[in-house]
Amino acid sequence: MTETLTIALSKGRILEESLPLLAHAGIAPLDHPDTSRKLVLDTSDAAVKLVILRATDVPTYVEYGAADVGVAGKDVLLEHGGEGLYEPLDLGIARCRMMVAGFPGANAGRGKVRVATKFVNIARRYFAEQGRQVETIKLYGSMELAPMAGLSDLIVDLVDTGNTLRANGLEPLEHVAEISARLIVNKAAMKMKHRRIKAFTQCLAGAVGKRAA
């Protein structure tokens, strides 16, 4: 009997770039995730289901075993903590950088500064490792507005092209981390469904290799 596999994905760029990799493993959703209202999708492989979640919920579903495997950005994993998860493969998709940004010269040697970000755990760790005192302010969007409105001195955010920063008079100041999407696996599922997950991981690794070639 074929072991079932539940894969957690999030809508948006990660889902869009994951679908060709899944197709290489013989897995394609029967309903298109962007148009279907279903949160659990059947696939071309009867033993595989896709669950569509908020990006920040993917590690939680995998950690607690509601999904066997998932695809999550490294930013989400760093913020979540990643305990209880294996991270066997960098899929090399949804690439960007996590940066400290602000007005030119805003990171010059100063006392305690205010940092606006939705990645508060990452920001606190980053500045603590440097021995710098910061006050973090949790925001959920429009991060560039915070320095412009005087809410914060700096922001910590994902940067792709940097066009949005430049359009608002800001610039990247410090590199925090390289970000890409990773395959994550529940630890219990890795033991119970080892052969199935190993074969799936190898298929994805082959697709990643072809994509990079």
Give yes or no: residues 90 and 186 share one domain.
Answer: yes
Give yes or no: residues 47 and 112 share one domain.
Answer: no
Domain containing 110 equals 96-177
Q: If pLDDT is split at 50, 70 and 90, which confidence band does 3 have?
A: confident
**Rounded percentage of the chain residues whose pLDDT exceeds 70:** 97
Give yes or no: residues 112 and 190 share one domain.
Answer: no
- Residues 58-89 have pLDDT tens digits of 999 999 999 999 999 999 999 998 778 999 99
Beta strands 181-186 and 171-179: pairing type?
A: unpaired
Tally of structural domains, the chain: 2
Give yes or no: residues 101 and 201 share one domain.
Answer: no
Dist CA 143 CA 23 (whole Å): 35
Give yes or no: residues 90 and 100 share one domain.
Answer: no
- State yes or no: pLDDT of 143 exceeds 70: yes
Give yes or no: residues 107 and 167 share one domain.
Answer: yes
Give yes or no: residues 87 and 184 share one domain.
Answer: yes
How many residues in the chain? 213
Which CATH number characterizes residue 114's domain?
Answer: 3.40.190.10
Give yes or no: residues 140 and 186 share one domain.
Answer: no
pLDDT, average across residues 150-160: 96
Give yes or no: residues 135 and 187 share one domain.
Answer: no
For residue 108, the model assigns a pLDDT of 61
Please provide the distance, in angstroms rounded to a whole number, between the alpha carbons at the two ends of the chain: 35
For residue 213, the model assigns a pLDDT of 67
- State yes or no: pLDDT of 168 exceeds 70: yes
pTM (whole model) above 0.85: yes
Give yes or no: residues 22 and 116 share one domain.
Answer: no
Give yes or no: residues 164 and 90 share one domain.
Answer: no
- Per-position DSSP letters for 12-64, written without gaps between them: THHHHHHHHHHHHTT--BSS-TTT---SEEEBSSTTEEEEEE-GGGHHHHHHT
**Average pLDDT in the chain:** 93
- State yes or no: pLDDT of 206 exceeds 80: yes
- State yes or no: pLDDT of 13 exceeds 80: yes
Give yes or no: residues 84 and 102 share one domain.
Answer: no
For residue 83, the model assigns a pLDDT of 76
